[in-house]
Chain A
């Protein structure tokens, strides 16, 4: 395989490639992210940003207590976030565990949401601690059940102990399983990688291995999608595009709960990767509670007074 002509798939070439990446200065990256967080978004721009953010939400439920009923309600919400206002766009995807994929797909089809993809978390999510055979089977199952997007986790243990090639080969293998049927999002679990240098390295590793998206977190580990982490990942996809002319998507997930948080993410995208990434095909936000806050802000903007949670649906 060619891997964009940048590495040849060997341990040595991968190591050499990742070694020559420039370092990230944590304080500088944090300062840049903090500065962008001071951008003030008002009026028409805010209205546009809210709708864009809604369309980027991967509406997620990943709980041991998930039931078909819960997932069906989520699907309904994903398709018609505000039942009283049809101008609200549907979200980017519904994100569920493997065994809920079929239920979600069937329900979405039943309510006419054929376009709305189902994303499945995969490869022994969230820890990634399973045999390769299990991880492959996990992914196959999800795709067979109708998942159009696979959110796999990387083996952070292997990454942290320097077995980069194992992480790489796993992603390559899962990508093969995805084939043309599913988009692959690679979850780096940046809260466990800890340093921004690791985030940059892991981002490149995932992109070289064939990821369509790089994703920050499982949502099960804190910190999750912090602004500096997203900044570094956006820089990575921007620079990777310069090298390959291929645009890789970014998905922050975990901890993005308010409209303010979401708009800050969009500012990061706009000023780092650029406006081309301001599109659900290249930027998603993994969230659950966020959607209702976006809806309430949307109501405030159209009605001119503050909204109440009583007027948005809770599922």
Chain B
């Protein structure tokens, strides 16, 4: 028996740049795929969601106002930070999912590369998705994509890190702020990702991370009137209908995706704004 007891990490939520416990005081046990105890994760409540939305809403104008170059740099910085902790993240993935060390390391590399891929879109997608429109008449007319606002994400269950990054990176890169629900069964990677984010110059409140049950929280994400969009890629497809229905009250933009890297994931949470101005003197 070794003489030293391991110092275990307490996994908490990540709201407005801080790591609070759930206001509900509830937790749930996270086990390895073999059933061994790994940690007690916060079982976030709808009130945690509410607080996270308030933080995300407050942070949104500032994040959207940051230059595209700056947002891209910060996203790249997140990738740098993640790369540096590859081994730790790989180990955590293996523990939760039982994936081999090699597979887990691959997932971390994929997540890093995906962050880099999205980081580069920040100052390019608006030129591809915007347009100047040749209208009939003496008017200058152009369309620009703009961030939607506060977007929720229900991350995929299976790839605890890659699925999470694939959900939040496209939301953030355009200037949205996010409230993301980690994989319910394997939330530890997402919570550890918060530590990466916290050291990456991402302003407080831009990304908020909850751990908890999809079945409990997804309907609250859908019905929240101050969430503008929702990525439900992580939800089983038989639940998409009821979630979409619950999102109708504020005509929430709700989408699900199958591919991790596609510009459509960014554009799904952007609005097109068209501006007219006369040309004269």
Q: Which A residues lie at the B interface, using CB under 8 A? A: 25-28, 30, 195
Cα separation A195 to B281 with both chains bound (whole Å): 6
Interface contact tally, CB-CB below 8 A: 14
Q: Closest approach, in angstroms, between the C-beta of A124 and any C-beta of chain B?
A: 29
Least Cβ–Cβ distance between B38 and chain A, in angstroms:
67
Q: Is B135 an interface residue (CB 8 A)?
A: no
- Contact partners of B280 in chain A: CB under 8 A: 25-27, 30
Q: List 9 A-B contacts (CB under 8 A).
A: A25-B278, A26-B278, A26-B280, A26-B281, A27-B138, A27-B278, A27-B279, A28-B278, A30-B280
Q: In the assembled complex, which residues on chain A have CB atoms less than 8 Å from the CB atom of B278?
A: 25-28
Residues of B within 8 A of A27 (CB): 138-139, 278-280
Q: With A and B bound together, what is the CA distance between A28 and B137 in angstroms?
A: 12
A residues within 8 A CB of B281?
A: 26, 195
> For B138, B139, B279, B280, which residue has the most chain A Cβ atoms within 10 angstroms?
B280
Return B234 CB to nearest CB of chain A, in Å: 50
Q: Which of B246-281 contact A (CB under 8 A)?
A: 278-281
What residue of chain A has the Cβ atom nearest to residue B137's Cβ?
Answer: A27
A25, B277: Cα distance in complex, Å? 11
> Taking CB as reference atom, which chain A residue is nearest B277?
A27
- Chain A, residue nearest B279 (CB): A27
**Complex: how many Å from CA A25 to CA B138?**
12
Report the minimum CB–CB distance from B137 to chain A (whole Å). Answer: 8
The residues of B that contact A25 with a CB separation of less than 8 Å are 278, 280
B110 CB → nearest A CB, Å: 53
User: Closest CB of chain B to A198's CB: distance in Å?
Assistant: 10
Tell me the nearest residue of chain B to A29, going by C-beta: B280
Which of A26, A27, A195 has the most chain B CB atoms inside 10 A of its CB?
A: A27
**Roughly how many angstroms separate A28 CA and B278 CA in the complex, as a whole number?**
8
Q: List 12 additional A-B contacts (Cβ < 8 Å) besides A30-B280, A195-B281.
A: A25-B278, A25-B280, A26-B278, A26-B280, A26-B281, A27-B138, A27-B139, A27-B278, A27-B279, A27-B280, A28-B278, A30-B138
CB distance from B269 to the nearest CB of A (A): 35
Cα distance A27–B279 in the bound complex, in angstroms: 7
| CB neighbors of A among B189-215 (8 A) | none
Contacts of B139 in A (CB 8 A): 27
Interface set, chain B 105-158, CB cutoff 8 A to A: 138-139
Q: Which residue of A lies closest to B278 (CB)?
A: A27
Question: What separation, in Å, do the CA atoms of A227 and B2 have in the docked complex?
Answer: 96
**A30: B residues at CB distance < 8 A:** 138, 280
**Nearest CB in chain A: distance from B243 CB, A:** 47
**Shortest CB distance B143–A (Å):** 20
Question: Which residues of B have CB within 8 Å of A195?
Answer: 281
Of all chain B residues, the one with the shortest Cβ separation from A194 is B281
- A113 to B280 CA separation, bound complex (whole angstroms): 47
Closest B residue, CB atoms, query A26: B280
Give the chain B neighbours of A26 by CB distance below 8 A: 278, 280-281
Kindly report which residue of chain A lies nearest to residue B138, judged by CB atoms.
Answer: A27
Q: How far is the CA of A25 from the CA of B279 in the complex (A)?
A: 9
State how many angstroms separate the Cβ of B267 from the closest Cβ of chain A. 32
Q: 5 nearest interchain CB pairs?
A: A26-B280, A27-B278, A27-B280, A27-B138, A195-B281
A25 and B139 CA atoms in complex are apart in Å by 12
Question: Shortest CB–CB separation between residue A194 and chain B, in angstroms?
Answer: 8
